[in-house]
Structures are given as C-alpha cells and as structure tokens.
Amino acid sequence: MIGEHILWLGFLTSFFVVLLATPSLIKVAKLKHLVDEPSEDRKLHTRSIPTIGGITIFGGIIFSYALWFPNEFYYIDNTLVNFKTVIATLILLFFVGIKDDIIGTAPIKKLAAHFIVGFIIVIMADIRIQSMHSIFGIEELELWQSYIISIFTYIVIVNAYNLIDGLDGLAAGIGLISSLSFGFLFAYSENIPLALLSFVLAGALLAFLIFNFSPARIFMGDSGSLIIGAIISILVINAINIPITKLPEIIKNSNLPILVISVLVYPLTDTIRAFTIRAFRGVSPFTADKNHIHHQFIKIGFSHRKTVISLYLYNLLIIGFGVFSTINNPTLNLFTLILLALSVILFPMLLKRINK
C-alpha cells in the first residue's frame, strides 16, 4: 500500500494522544462534576460517570490528522477540499456537542447545526453521492437529487452514531469497526488522505475503548458521537464514489452502496427501528427511550460486555455479506441485506420466547 507508514503514524499518534489525555480528563470532569448521573430510568449505568470524553477524541483526531496529512497528495483527488471540510465541520460539531454534554442543547438547535454542516459538506465542498450504482435501476443522479440524498445521508449517519451511544463501548466499538473498514478500503484504492482520516479515527477510538468498555470510566458524550458520525459520513460519501478500477481485487465485483450500508448496518438498523417505534407512539423521533436494540439484549439477560461483543460480531458478519455482494443484482442484494439486518431485531425476541 502506498503511504502505509503515514497511516500507521496517524493511527499510533491519535491512539497515544487519547490514551495519555483521557485519565487527566476523567479527574478534571469529576472535580468539576461534569458527569452523567443515573437519574433516568432509561440509563443503564448505576454511578456518576464523566461524559465529556469527546474532548480527547476530538483533540487526538485533529492533531494527528493535521500532523501527518501527506503534502504530496494535497492537491490531488479533491484532498484539499476534504481536509478543509473535515477540520471546519469537526470544530463546529465539537462545540455543539460539548455544549450539549455540559448544559444541554434543544434538539431543534442540533438539527439546525446538522443542516449547516450538511450544507458545508455537500454544497460548499461538493462532497456528494453521484451514483446509485444501479440500485432500483438508478445510475447517475441529477444534481438536485445528489444534494438531497447526500445531505440526508449525512444527517442519518450522524444521528445514528449518536443514538447507539447508550451502552459501554458500543458506539466506540462500532465506530472502530467502521473506520477500519473504510481505512483499508481507501488504502487499497490508494486514497491515502481519506485512509489517514479513517485510521486516525480508529486509533482514537481504540484508545478510548480502554476507558469506555464495560465498566466504563468515561462516556464520549455528544462531543464524541457527533465527531464519529460526521467523519464516517464523509468517508461513506467518498467511498460510494470510488472508481471500480481503483477497488481492491476482492471487492471489484461488489456493489459499493451495499458494501457501505453493510458497514453501517447496526447504527442504521437501530435508528430506523427507534424512529419507527416513536412515530407509531406519536412522540418526537428525538425523544430518548429504552427501545434501542441494545436495551432488548439487556432485557433478556445479556451483560453489557456480552451485548456489545455480540453486536460487534453481528456488524462484522454483515460486512462479510457486503464484501461478497455483486453488481449484477444490486436491488436483490439490498433486500437481502435488509432481511439480514432484521435478524438483530428478531434475535432477542426469539431468545426470549425460547427461554419462556
């Protein structure tokens, strides 16, 4: 792989920044009482836990990405646009997230911030989905269609990673799987700047998992989950646009949108499920509750660790399906993926019936 050393340097730098900074952040958060209290029934923790872990994730990513960004690729394949967009949007989302973690932010204000970020990414930077790769017979998108689908994609993904941040190690672990998947995809397609962004995110999340895995010593909060979602959305849009000729041999016959959806399968499935239930109950889709998939696993007796490990393995299994999806029957592959995604919803229900 071209530039492999840069990827490892970025990964290790963000890993050690987060690893070394997080213990101090935990102490400061406890001293200043910047913690999440187990005051609501929907919360699964039973003690006060610092909830501003996104500070170290944000710092590790920005520092490592800027430090190791490869100069020789600076003006190739839109990398300057990607670099500027990542830095600008992450700074904006960090301040939105940290405000929410400390004093709270109204959902409508957060949604407004997402539309601003979506505007920057899709319209100002022109980072957008250009083709559906024959899904439902659709190939190239009209410009207005591309704008709508791309902004919608960003908003869905950033909210999806925010919503799954409800169990020790879940959002960080799923984000780690996603970032590594995109990292190898971009590395083998020789897009080193985006591969670096992926590995920098992966390094930060791996280090954070040391403190966030059950029993968690710190939560990432919105300042962390929004950062993960924004980066993943940028990686997703760029991944769908990779030319087939640049793909690794193992996935040259894969359908890129199907592969990308398989990487995001758990956050997307949980978000669609949660929003659907809330809609049928006539409440706001942003109302917090205990109807997430991980809550169902806890209800049937799974521990925190067993639940997150099971969901990690599920996500990896579906990624395997995405790798072997083909460009010949993209619509059929999409429906197959949907059926596979439903399995994680039906599994707790089935196990509950068997135990009865």
Dist CA 180 CA 274 (whole Å): 26
Q: Residue 24 has which token pair?
A: 């101090």
Indicate the pLDDT class of residue 172, thresholds 50, 70 and 90: very high
User: 3-class DSSP state for residue 35?
Assistant: strand
Q: Which pTM was predicted?
A: 0.92
* pLDDT tens, position by position, 33-78: 888 776 655 555 456 899 899 999 999 999 999 999 887 655 555 5
Dist CA 255 CA 293 (whole Å): 27
2 φ/ψ angles, rounded to the nearest 5 degrees: -70, 135
- Give the pLDDT mean for 226-254: 88
Tell me which amino acid residue 39 is. S
Q: Angle formed by the axes of helices 265-280 and 330-355, to 10°? A: 70
- 342 versus 157: the higher-pLDDT residue is 157
Indicate the pLDDT class of residue 11, thresholds 50, 70 and 90: very high
User: 3-class DSSP state for residue 329?
Assistant: coil
Q: How many helices and strands in the chain, by DSSP H and E?
A: 13, 2
Task: Note if the bond before 193 is cis, omega within 30 degrees.
Answer: no
CA 330 to mean position of chain CA atoms: 24
Does residue 329 carry a pLDDT above 60? yes
Q: Residue 118 has which token pair?
A: 């979506």
Q: Residue 250 has which token pair?
A: 């193992």
User: How many structural domains comprise the chain?
Assistant: 1
Dist CA 262 CA 311 (whole Å): 13
At residue 33, the pLDDT reads 86
Q: What size, in residues, is the chain?
A: 356
Which residues on adjacent β-strands are paired with residue 140? 131
Burial category of 70 from C-beta neighbours within 10 Å (exposed 0-12, middle 13-18, buried 19 and up)? middle
* pLDDT tens, position by position, 295-328: 888 888 888 899 999 999 999 999 988 887 766 6
User: 3-class DSSP state for residue 220?
Assistant: coil
Neighbours of 332 (CB within 10 A): 12
> Residue written as tokens 């996935």?
251
Residues 6+ apart with CB under 8 A from 309: none
Torsion sign, CA atoms 262, 51, 56, 107: positive
Residues 6+ apart with CB under 8 A from 205: 57, 172, 173, 175, 176, 179, 228
Which secondary structure element, helix H or strand E, spans residue 320, and what is its range? helix 304-323
> Residue written as tokens 């239930």?
277
Structural domain of 10: 4-355
